[in-house]
Amino acid sequence: MIPKINSEVSSDYHDLPGYIHGAKIIQVALTKHPIDNISDVVYETVKNTRSVRQLHMSFLVPRTKILKPAIIYFPGGGFMTAEHNKFVEMRMALAEAGFVVAAAEYRTIPDTFPAPVIDAKAAVRYLRQHAHDYGIDPSRIGVFGDSAGGWLAQMLGTTNGDKSFDHGDFLSQSADVQAVATLYGISDLRNIGDGFPDHRQKVHQSPAVAESLLINGVAFKNFAGASISSVPEKAINASPIGRLKGCKPPFLIMHGSKDTLVSPKQSATLYKALLESGNKTDYVLIEGAEHGDDHWYQPVVINRVVDWFSGHLCPDNT
């Protein structure tokens, strides 16, 4: 929006440094703070016998003096990629609302479960360890993700208090989160195509489909691979829907009614299960939205997420 210009210059303006006849004088209300962009921060170093890999995180940090709540974004990518610098529209909107927004990459296939969860919890611990550096209130950390990143955000929320995923640095810090938003995320690896036509459901029974590779690994030597249905106990152990015992943080669940990659039933089932467990949960179904299509970049959707996080992580708004 273009600031309003005063066309009538009072005599007071004549005393402004730099004023000459013909200058247009504008008055600007200070409604926003600058936002610093910090890239390529190494939050975890993963070592094995053959390699050392650094995992990166980027930050959007409002330039304010108060302690701020933080949100970590985990990107989708079908468990195959984790390009953490995307979805800038949502991340910037959250930063403009006063959140420190981190975006974290994580290990993907050929690495297997629980590697992504271990990485995500390491990202949360990193934020708490370095809270002073970024002006973060360590008691107010939320997470959000889309698609496979939504699965990862859900896993963080449903494993609050579970130390079995804590590996690496800053183990004295908690990896618990205080709010979770999941956009067209996966809640049950056993039936991602639930309700889809038969030919699509059959794809998810292949040993080569992403969720099978995440759980079972790639075929190699004497291992021919395995379908997700052949190891239901492993699949449910790696699914948020299988980890709903106990008190969980507030959840915002969003899905598109026309999603053809991750069944909307995934979100509906998670919503129902969380409610039945007594957890605070909101569910938003976007009519006509496909998996990650343009619906998700519209202000009404972005503002819904921003307002929800503000209501749960900003005490002045509750």
Q: Indicate the DSSP class of residue 174.
A: -
Percent of the chain beyond pLDDT 70? 95
Task: Give Cα separations from 41 to 57, 60, 102, 123 (angstroms).
Answer: 5, 12, 10, 11
- 246 pLDDT band, cuts 50/70/90, is confident
Is the pLDDT confidence value at 74 over 70?
yes
- 1 pLDDT band, cuts 50/70/90, is very low
Contact partners, residue 112, CB within 8 Å, separation at least 6: 213, 214, 215, 216, 217
Q: What domain range includes position 313?
A: 35-317
Is the pLDDT confidence value at 4 over 70?
no
147 within some domain:
yes
271-280 long-range contacts, CB within 8 A, separation 24+ = 273/241, 273/244, 274/244, 274/248, 277/244, 277/245, 277/248, 278/247, 279/244, 279/247, 279/248, 279/250, 279/251, 280/250, 280/251
16 within some domain:
no
Please say whether the beta carbons of 302 and 90 come within 8 A: yes
Q: How far apart are CA 8 and CA 3, in angstroms?
A: 15
What mean pLDDT is reported for the chain?
93
CA-based nearest residue to 228, from 249, 252, 248, 210: 210
Please say whether the beta carbons of 187 and 239 come within 8 A: yes
Is the pLDDT confidence value at 2 over 70?
no
Residue range 260-276, pLDDT digits in tens = 999 999 999 999 999 99
> What mean pLDDT do residues 16-21 have?
93
58 within some domain:
yes
Is the pLDDT confidence value at 318 over 50?
no
pLDDT at 172: 98
- 89 pLDDT band, cuts 50/70/90, is very high
Residue range 159-175, pLDDT digits in tens = 999 999 999 999 999 99
80 within some domain:
yes
pLDDT at 3: 47
- 20 pLDDT band, cuts 50/70/90, is very high
Q: How far apart are CA 52 and CA 318, in angstroms?
A: 44
Going 70 to 143 to 75 to 40, the CA torsion angle's sign is: positive
- 225 pLDDT band, cuts 50/70/90, is confident
pLDDT at 199: 85
Look at 64-68, 195-199, 218-222 and tell me which has the smallest mean pLDDT. 218-222
280 within some domain:
yes
24 within some domain:
no
pLDDT at 107: 98
Task: Quickly tell me which residue has 């179904």 as its tokens.
Answer: 285
Is the pLDDT confidence value at 68 over 80?
yes
Domain tally, the chain: 1
Helix (H, G, I), strand (E, B) or coil at 183: strand
CATH number for the domain spanning 280: value is 3.40.50.1820
| Token pair listed for 282 | 């909101």
> What mean pLDDT do residues 183-190 have?
98
188 within some domain:
yes
Contact partners, residue 308, CB within 8 Å, separation at least 6: 179, 181, 252, 282
Give CA angle at 187 (175, 317), nearest 5°.
Answer: 55
* Residue 40, number of CB atoms within 10 A of its CB: 9
CA-based nearest residue to 183, from 245, 262, 88, 125: 262
Is the pLDDT confidence value at 42 over 50?
yes
183 within some domain:
yes
pTM of the predicted protein model: 0.93
Is the pLDDT confidence value at 223 over 80?
no
